[in-house]
Amino acid sequence: MATITMAKAINSGLRIALERDEKVVLMGEDIGKLGGVFRVTDGLQAQFGDMRVIDPPLAESGIMGTAIGMAMRGWRPVVEIQFDGFVYPAFDQIVSQLAKSHKRSAGATRLPIVVRIPYGGGIGAVEHHSESPEAYFAHTAGLRVMSPANPYDAFVMIQQAIACEDPVIFFEPKRRYWDKADFDDTVDVVADPAGVGSPFKARIAREGTDLTLVAYGPMVRTCLEVAEAAAEEGRSLEVVDLRSISPMDVDTLVASATKTGRMVVVHEASVFCGVGAEIAARVTEKCFWTMQAPVLRVGGMHAPYPPARVEHAFLPDLDRVLEAVDQAMDY
């Protein structure tokens, strides 16, 4: 057992995947010699060489297109998009080619590519460095979309994503890169899957009876803090960590909503047409007669991400989520 940050947990998961399968290659701007902007790939090029941990030219569309071609020839590329806002030059490659090739080829072509995207705010970054574009990809059939909320899940889920035969968009909450947890980061969870479970199954992060908070990625910790604060006022909040945005574990959401009768969905992305809208619609359809209040959503404003000095006003925080909890409980 060791105390490990999320960044180190992902690094360990990547190292194990590289050791397990010689067809796994990492590609991304500055991931080799520098070890990535957040040092997530630190030391991997020194261990595996520059033919498996590759520093390509600064061209996201070219990186993604190259990865697709490599996957067609049997490789398993893991592509890092340096920051969330840099993914858009590669958007056409991802949604038009990566997502659709398996279906278009009637199953003959598989593209087992993982696209790692550090995402979200909270680190005081400059423009185009704090986006939350997950809804774009969740809306695209043919892609799996995952986001871990803690170091252990990051360690497990990155290995499972690389082993998956489908393309996976792997959103890493950058403000949680330095969160720590104690676990053994040397276990190959693909070779030894006992006790790990499916990455596409939601996790009950905290049991509760009065209301369900649903979140993923960076907002799970915020929701756990909200539940702790609510407990001091005598309220029991359940926290569901979605983990997989697409496919979505609707069964766990429905079971929790049926138990508590109230639900608040929290994410950093804008509320309008966000992942929370899909969750609210699904839960309302299936739990209409058992809900005690409408499903409420808390998220970012419907505006471009603001300058770093005022990002606190844009992002959901403990007070905004507690306000939604109060509103739901007052119905």
Residue whose token pair is 């593209």: 111
The answer to whether the beta carbons of residues 184 and 2 sit under 8 Å apart is: yes
Task: Give, to the nearest 10 degrees, the angle between helix 250-260 and helix 275-287.
Answer: 60
Query: Which is the catalytic residue, given 102, 128, 129, 312?
Result: 129
> Does the annotation mark 128 as catalytic?
no
In this structure, how many other beta carbons lie within 10 angstroms of the beta carbon of residue 118?
A: 27
What would the two tokens of residue 203 be?
A: 């996790």
Output b/e per residue, 200-239; b: 16+ Cβ within 10 A. bebbebbebebbbbbbbbbbbbbbbebbebbeeeebebbb
Dihedral sign from CA coordinates of 99, 100, 101, 107: positive
Q: Which residues are known catalytic residues?
A: 129
